[in-house]
Structure 1
Amino acid sequence: MAEVRRVIVGVDGSDSSRYALEWSAQEARFLGMGLHIVAAVEVPDVDGPFAELLRSRGAATDSPRVKDAEALLAYARDWILRLYPELDVATRLVSRPAADALLEVADEPGSALVVVGSRGRGSLAAAFGGSVSVELAARSPLPVVVLPNKHEAVRGARGRIVVGVDGSDKGRRAAEFAFAQAAERGAELVAVCAWQPITAFAMTMGPVPAEIFDDDAVAGSARETLSNGIVDLRERYPQVAVDARVVRAHPVVALLEAATPADLVVVGSRGRGGFAGLLLGSVSQSVLHGAHGPVAVVH
């Protein structure tokens, strides 16, 4: 028998994980895939002569945390099967930190996509997109879709696909994922390439070419980047209606203004710039933080 491909979703009882669960079930049904619901129980990280005993108790099947997680998984599976009785639904309880648990399942054959809420019960408001979702988006070998606390497109609504194009390798893979999603959904694709006047920045760098001060030249370069970034994808997916936009704005502003809460925004995990110390690129982190709808981060 052919292996069932699955959408993986993490649940923890929070509002955003509930939206993530419903969105992922809808996607799995629409794409003809199965659904794998994952809950995590973190084993205490302790040292000392009784460390092994304490760790084993933390993962014991009769511990309150494990019982709560098992009850949550059973409830989530039952709820999804009430909504989509034809869906192939599996569950898994993993005794690891939340991000590691989802990464463990994502490495298994047949895994296609990972979905998570932007803020779980233990995430800090100061973290962009929640610490788990950022870590997962930075480390996952699969595309990761992050859902906000409140999402307008969970049942029935199918929005457009909005993707940022910047000429980078990861931006290229993001565009490939976006075109494939648009083709599967029968959705319009909005491809956005943003540019900004860089006169002030250039003046701090010493002598620079005169054309760097020419907004028309910078805009023309952005148009060329956008055209080159999607030309072969348009040929591969002729059925996808494409709205190609060159926007004078910061990339985060351009993407968020192009999207409604019903749209899926797709970004590469890193663009051409950014700081190596960040788990994700600054644009992808900021889009995760500011979006009102689902965001897919692609490596």
Structure 2
Amino acid sequence: MSGPVVVGVDGSRSNPAVVEAAAKAAERLGVGLELTQVVGWPAGAGRFGIPSWEMDGTGGYASARGVLAEAERQAHSAAPRVRISREVLVGKPENVLECEARTASLTVVGADGAQGYGGLRKGSLAGRLSARVSGPLLVVRGRPNPVGPVLLAVHGTSTLRGAAEFAFAEASARGADLVAVQLRNISAARPYGGSAHAMTEDEEDLALAGALAGLRERYPDVTLRCRRPRGRSRRALVEASAESQLLVVGARGRFGFVGSPLDPICRTALREADCPVALVHC
């Protein structure tokens, strides 16, 4: 997709890190950056997503434009060659950003808004978007290791190919190694209403080999390492994220519908990872 990188700007303490991550992502992808500030509905507002210049020009919109101007300066500093646009839209943030994400190459938000780098709060924007945005979603959190690898969570078969493609592309663009962590999980490849079964190690190896078929040839510059940690899968993933610059997780809601609950691996990544998390809906 050649659409822009869309970033939700909110003026919080974590906002500079979110804007910088989005600007660098746009630079890697070779696309524009769209800075989006979402404000609440004023009295008598009209249609969803209406631009602020069509509204009554109250101080709230002037403040939002000021936040966007500062975000643009931050983005330009991080990626001077990236084309930047900015807009103030009206509505619920999750609704507006979901709509903007439909034509985006990537959507970027902070983990928890005004509370900075802590765990993902219940009801946070990132949490609400994670099950709704159909394209890749980057949640900026933690303290990434800038020279660490890109980490790929391998947890089931139905989401693996799309996540692996995204992870290889990111590792290549960043000049980083790729580490695939094979986690114990229930197979996501099952019929609606069918019973789940635990995948054997042989089945997991076959699923990984199938997902990686052709990707190694397409990205010969990427060094791939595979790990199969023993013990608790989710804890092993969080520990590995502390050494990484990005964690990539494939996501498919229950029974494969966007908007349905995420699986435990995805929820753990969004809440506890110590580096940014790219959620790739497949």
TM-score (norm 2): 0.80
Partner in structure 1 of residue 108 of structure 2: 115
C-alpha offsets along residues 149-177 of structure 1, whole Å, 9 cap, x if unaligned?
x5345xxx353211112342223211111
Work out whether 1:94 is the aligned partner of 2:83: no
C-alpha offsets along residues 23-48 of structure 1, whole Å, 9 cap, x if unaligned?
1112222332221111001216xxxx
Partner in structure 2 of residue 142 of structure 1: 135
The CA deviation at 1:290 is 0.3
1:256·1:290 contact (CA, 8 Å) conserved in 2?
yes
Q: Which moved more, 1:126-135 or 1:8-17?
A: 126-135
Work out whether 1:151 is the aligned partner of 2:134: no
C-alpha offsets along residues 68-111 of structure 1, whole Å, 9 cap, x if unaligned?
21111112112322443322110011101111221222223xx2
Map 1:187-266 onto structure 2 (within 5 A).
Answer: 187-195=176-184, 218-260=200-242, 262-266=244-248
Structure 2: distance between partners of 1:166 and 1:79: 36
Work out whether 1:174 is the aligned partner of 2:163: yes
- The Cα RMSD (Å) is 3.4
Partner in structure 2 of residue 11 of structure 1: 9
Partner in structure 1 of residue 25 of structure 2: 27
Identity of aligned residues (%): 33
1:61·1:67 contact (CA, 8 Å) conserved in 2?
no
2:254·2:263 contact (CA, 8 Å) conserved in 1?
no
Q: How many equivalent residue pairs? A: 264
Structure 2: distance between partners of 1:182 and 1:64: 43
Structure 2: distance between partners of 1:85 and 1:178: 25
Structure 2: distance between partners of 1:8 and 1:226: 31
1:165·1:172 contact (CA, 8 Å) conserved in 2?
no
Q: Which moved more, 1:34-43 or 1:165-174?
A: 165-174
2:137·2:279 contact (CA, 8 Å) conserved in 1?
yes
Structure 1: distance between partners of 2:22 and 2:166: 16
1:176·1:233 contact (CA, 8 Å) conserved in 2?
yes
Partner in structure 1 of residue 172 of structure 2: 183
C-alpha offsets along residues 185-234 of structure 1, whole Å, 9 cap, x if unaligned?
221110111238xxxxxxxxxxxx9xx8xxxx944443333333323322
The CA deviation at 1:130 is 5.3
Residues 183, 228 of structure 1: alpha-carbon distance in 2 compared, 3 angstrom cutoff: same
- Secondary structure of the 1:121 match is helix
Structure 1: distance between partners of 2:213 and 2:260: 31
C-alpha offsets along residues 120-179 of structure 1, whole Å, 9 cap, x if unaligned?
1389x896575210221211121000012x5345xxx35321111234222321111111
Structure 2 gaps of 5+ residues are 186-196
2:112·2:121 contact (CA, 8 Å) conserved in 1?
no
Partner in structure 2 of residue 203 of structure 1: none
Residues 67, 261 of structure 1: alpha-carbon distance in 2 compared, 3 angstrom cutoff: farther
Structure 1 gaps of 5+ residues are 45-52, 197-208
Structure 1: distance between partners of 2:93 and 2:271: 19
Work out whether 1:297 is the aligned partner of 2:276: no
C-alpha offsets along residues 11-33 of structure 1, whole Å, 9 cap, x if unaligned?
10112232111111122223322
2:35·2:84 contact (CA, 8 Å) conserved in 1?
yes
The structure number with the bigger radius of gyration is 1
Structure 2: distance between partners of 1:271 and 1:229: 19
Q: What amino acid does structure 2 have at the position aligned with 1:118?
A: A
Return the structure number with greater helix share: 1
TM-score (norm 1): 0.76
Structure 2: distance between partners of 1:161 and 1:18: 22
Structure 2: distance between partners of 1:87 and 1:62: 29
- Secondary structure of the 2:239 match is helix
**Residue 270 of structure 2 is aligned with which of 261, 273, 288?**
288
